[in-house]
């Protein structure tokens, strides 16, 4: 732990983001992708040793665990985000991790030791046509989505009854599955990545049929949720992910996957600028995405050549990224500072459209001192002069 002058920190954060969003940045902002899996093994944040299986099976436990997680992060993790107790209430969401789409389609959940949930493939052996035979599940009651909306209703009831934590009420509540991890990634989930990649080569008709089914189901689900919550169907810009396109060539992406990405963007975007999250070695796809889907904001994982990326995309495209998560888990404080400095001096800061973060989603067990090393280095080397 370190002493943090919360008011001074929050004023600096406000100024950093106002300058960044106003197009006249003073320094590179720093954020971390942290969800409750990070604090599962932090005694102060999880004093009862709640497992992710228990967390997922009990809405009251999910609520309590999430609040303890948020409190710990807001008092211990240095980043360009408000610290201290929230002024607008605790933001709480139904946390189904990255299982929600495949589990909605029928994939069974499993839990590795000390791990978040994952799914087993559904379309195996002689069940290749199973999803087509079943049709699109009900957005509110199919598969895991019954739990999603039951938990959301529980959170809403607690907010209505005046639930508080540390004297602060609940704030914004969000159900799961308002976005998508992408049709190609979901296809790899439900079919198994090896089998689906073989389909792409040996049975492209089936691969297209599966991608088409998943895309139509995704649009139907998100549309139903936005209507249910009274939200507009389209926003000016829309963001999505599809990490598994790192597994395919540029040619296969353009021929096989791009039509479905375009369909999704057309369904929910007024034209952009749009954004995408792509973990893994996917930067070869970025120029095409920029030019054909008006993607102007890229959230990256690793590996990333930041110098090449800025030179290729130009100074006006927003990029999020930084040291890889395995590196942050094992590196020394000195090594972290050297790596942050290397990234910041690569040319990625040109244009003032870079945000430093881990690449991507902070792993449990990363030493807190390594997060401080990133924060201290960005405040020194990330200044615009």
Mean pLDDT by 10 residues, the chain (385 residues): 88 98 98 94 90 96 97 96 96 97 97 89 96 98 98 98 98 98 98 98 98 98 98 98 98 98 98 97 98 98 97 98 97 98 98 97 94 97 95
φ, ψ dihedrals at 271, nearest 5°: 135, -15
**8 in a domain, yes or no?**
no
Question: Considering only CA atoms, which of 186, 184, 382 is closest in space to residue 282?
Answer: 184
The pLDDT of residue 346 is 98
Q: Tell me the C-alpha distance between 154 and 284, whole Å.
A: 43
- Checking DSSP bridges between strand 109-111 and strand 117-119, what pairing results, if any? antiparallel
Contact by Cβ (8 Å): 228, 145: no
Contact by Cβ (8 Å): 151, 62: yes
Q: Tell me the C-alpha distance between 113 and 109, whole Å.
A: 13
3-state class of 50 per DSSP? coil
The pLDDT of residue 1 is 59
Q: Which domain holds residue 194?
A: 97-163+180-233
What sign does the CA torsion over 245, 251, 252, 254 have?
Answer: positive
List the beta strands (DSSP E) in 73-212.
90-93, 109-111, 117-119, 164-165, 168-174
Specify the DSSP class assigned to residue 128: T
Q: Tell me the C-alpha distance between 375 and 380, whole Å.
A: 9
Number of domains in the chain: 1
The pLDDT of residue 115 is 83
**320 in a domain, yes or no?**
no
**157 in a domain, yes or no?**
yes
**338 in a domain, yes or no?**
no
Q: What is the pTM of this model?
A: 0.97
**226 in a domain, yes or no?**
yes
Q: Tell me the C-alpha distance between 350 and 256, whole Å.
A: 34
Question: Buried b vs exposed e over 273-283: b needs ≥16 C-beta within 10 Å?
Answer: bbbbbbbbebb
């Amino acid at each position: 732990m370190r002493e943090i002058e919360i008011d001074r920190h929050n004023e600096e954060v406000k100024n950093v983001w106002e300058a960044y969003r106003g197009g006249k940045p003073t320094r590179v902002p720093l954020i971390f992708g942290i969800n409750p899996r990070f604090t599962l093994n932090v005694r102060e944040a999880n004093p009862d040793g709640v497992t992710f299986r228990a967390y997922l099976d009990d809405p009251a436990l999910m609520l309590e665990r999430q609040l303890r997680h948020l409190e710990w992060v807001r008092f211990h993790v240095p980043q360009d985000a408000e610290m201290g107790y929230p002024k607008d209430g605790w933001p709480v969401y139904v946390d189904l991790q990255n299982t929600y789409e495949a589990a909605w389609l029928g994939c069974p959940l499993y839990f590795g030791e000390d791990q978040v949930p994952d799914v087993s493939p559904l379309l195996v052996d002689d069940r290749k046509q199973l999803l087509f035979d079943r049709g699109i599940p009900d957005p509110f009651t199919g598969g895991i989505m019954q739990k999603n909306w039951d938990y959301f209703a529980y959170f809403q009831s607690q907010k209505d009854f005046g639930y508080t934590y540390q004297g602060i009420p609940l704030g914004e509540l969000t159900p799961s599955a308002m976005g998508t991890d992408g049709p190609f990634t979901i296809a790899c989930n439900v079919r198994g990545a090896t089998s689906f990649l073989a389909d792409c080569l040996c049975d492209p008709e089936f691969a297209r049929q599966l991608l088409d089914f998943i895309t139509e189901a995704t649009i139907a689900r998100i549309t139903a949720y936005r209507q249910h919550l009274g939200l507009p169907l389209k926003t000016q810009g829309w963001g999505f992910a599809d990490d598994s396109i790192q597994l395919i060539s540029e040619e296969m992406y353009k021929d096989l996957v791009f039509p479905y990405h375009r369909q999704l963007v057309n369904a929910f975007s007024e034209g952009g600028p749009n954004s995408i999250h792509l973990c893994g070695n996917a930067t070869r796809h970025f120029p095409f995405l920029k030019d054909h889907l008006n993607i102007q904001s890229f959230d990256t994982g690793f590996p990333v050549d930041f110098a090449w990326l800025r030179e290729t995309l130009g100074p006006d495209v927003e990029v999020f990224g930084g040291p890889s998560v395995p590196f942050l888990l094992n590196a020394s404080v000195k090594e972290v500072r050297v790596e942050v400095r290397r990234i910041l001096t690569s040319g990625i800061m040109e244009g003032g459209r870079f945000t430093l973060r881990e690449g991507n989603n902070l792993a449990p067990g990363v030493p807190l001192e390594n997060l401080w090393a990133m924060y201290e280095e960005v405040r020194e080397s990330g200044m615009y002069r």
